[in-house]
Amino acid sequence: MSHDTIAINQRMDKFDGHHSVWLFGYGSLIYKADFPFIERRPASIANWTRRFWQGSHDHRGTEAAPGRVVTLVHAAGAVCDGMAYLITPQVFAHLDHREKNGYLRLATDITFDDATTTEGLVYIATADNAAFLGPASEYDIAVHIAASHGPSGPNRDYLMELAQALRAMGKDDPHVFAIEAFLGSL
C-alpha cells in the first residue's frame, strides 16, 4: 500500500451521517490539536500498544531519510492511553492530510477515564504501508530519532513532547520512556 492514504481514508464511510465523532489520539494528536474540536478527554483503547515503528517522510523526516513516529500495534490485553477529541466530520479532510503518510482511519472502542465507552475512530499505520519501518530496539530507535529532521522540525522534539504529554496525563509508557532515556544519553 502507498504511504499516501488520503484517498483510502476518504472512502471510509463508517461515520457518514454522524454530526460528531470521537477521535482517539496516541501520538502528536495528544499534544498538538491543530484542528477544531468540541470536547477533549483523556481516554484509552484496548488491545493496542504504541510503537515508534512508522516512518515519517512528511513531518519528522524526509523522503530520503524518514524519521520515526508512533503507530499502534495489536497486542492482546494491552491498553494504550491517549486523548480523545469530539470532532465534526468536516475535520476529516484536515486529519486525512495530516495523517496521510500511511495511516488509515479505523473504527475502535474508546474508553474514557471515567470508564464510560463509545465507538470512535483512530488513525493507525499498519505494517503493509510503504512507510512502515517496523520493530527495532529502543536504543536503535533513539539513534534514528536523534539523526532525523523534517519539515515539522527535529524528530527528537516529537518524542520529547509525547513523553512530556504522557507524564502530564499521569500515564506510563515504557517504550516511549526508554527511547527518551537513550536519546538523553546520545
Name the catalytic one among 39, 63, 99, 138: 99
Q: pLDDT digits over 158-186, tens only?
A: 999 999 999 999 999 999 999 999 999 98
pLDDT at position 112, please?
A: 98
Pairwise CA distance, residues 136 & 186, whole Å:
17
Judge contact between 39 and 167, C-beta under 8 A: no
CA within 13 Å, CB half, 85: 22
Quickly tell me which residue has 527511547 as its cell: 179
Q: How far is CA 30 from CA 7, 49, 87, 159, 162, in A?
A: 25, 15, 14, 12, 7
Q: What's this model's pTM, rounded to 2 decimal places?
A: 0.90
All structural domains of the chain, each given as residue ranges with its CATH number in brackets, are 6-184 (3.10.490.10)
pLDDT in tens, 88-136: 988 988 988 888 778 888 999 999 999 999 999 999 999 999 899 999 9
- Cα separation, 59 vs 178, whole angstroms: 23
Residue 20 has pLDDT above 90, yes or no: yes
pLDDT tens, residue by residue, 71-94: 999 999 999 999 999 999 889 889
Beta strands in 2-125 (DSSP E): 21-25, 39-56, 67-87, 103-112, 117-125
> Is 119 a catalytic site residue?
no
Specify the range with the lowest mean pLDDT, choosing from 10-19, 51-60, 131-140. 10-19
